[in-house]
Amino acid sequence: MGVEKVSSAAPAVLAVSQLCKSYGALKAVNNLSFSVQAGQCFGLLGPNGAGKTTTLEMLEGIIKPDSGSIFYHAEVAGRRHFQQLGVQFQQTALQDFLTVEETLRMFAAFYPEPADIQELIKLCDLTDFLTQDHKKLSGGQRQRLLLALALVNQPQILFLDEPTTGLDPHARRNFWMLIKQIKQQGRTIILTTHYMDEAEQLCDDLIIVDKGQIIAQGSPQALLRQHFEGALLQLPDPGFIPSLPDGHHASLQGGQLCIQTPDVQQSIQALLQQQVQLQGLLVKSATLDDLFLKLTGHALSGVTMEAE
């Protein structure tokens, strides 16, 4: 029997069709469908508990979906495909009492054709702590080591599951630069994150997931153009939602009055007419955080939108 294939003029590196996974009454992943092209950084965004990690574990062959299909290079996903992936998990247990270099060489020994260790050391900037016990690394150093381990088998598709969670801002930005370098090598990256700024920095295409379902899909720029026009105003909650001209939308969120406006000057004039204090006013462009709030009615922190 031949390998089942998906008919496509330009097959995606990864294609997912109607993927579902439940745990009892909880639908962790509910009918997800998307595709990833070669060389992309593709993002799965959403709050903790949205189903991102469960989706990745199915794509990596760790758990089986209840229903739906996964295809790599237009072939039904199987053991051969899963063995060719690179994976950086949220949590990885490493052998005790080994240095960074010893850990790298141990993992390399698992594969018949590993990557060049010296190239990995240079790429992931590990030189300064090669002889250090991996348990004594900082958060950013450990993540760079784990990334090098995910690249040991020379994968063309790399999975990163919330790789910058818990890192300080400086370490996060250093890690972003590293991911961009890896992408420049032509690798495809599948990234899960609940940091919307991270997705805007790194992702060519993405899905936003909430409660196991896709609520938006596209490039960051296209999604923001589709859902927002003009600018966003934020100022401390005045205790009421003011009346605004047509085309302006206001909401209360986290102690802030948020206004989506096509005309900043017109909005400010309307606020002044209603004696709203402008102290603390912030004018900004929309972000993916704002998009998530608009689509779900709650921020990533779970704060509910009160009115519009």
Q: What does the pLDDT look like over 173-189, one tens digit per residue? A: 999 999 999 999 999 99
% of the chain beyond a pLDDT of 70: 94
Question: What would the pLDDT profile of 27-64 be if each residue is shown by its tens digit?
Answer: 999 999 999 999 999 999 998 889 999 999 999 999 99
pLDDT (0 to 100) of residue 290? 86
Question: What would the pLDDT profile of 80-133 be if each residue is shown by its tens digit?
Answer: 999 999 999 988 889 999 999 999 999 999 999 999 999 999 999 999 999 999
Compute the average pLDDT of residues 261-288: 93
% of the chain beyond a pLDDT of 90: 79
pLDDT (0 to 100) of residue 155? 97
Q: Are 188 and 40 in contact (CB under 8 A)?
A: yes
Of 164, 132, 128, 119, which Cα lies nearest the Cα of 146? 164
Average pLDDT, the chain: 91
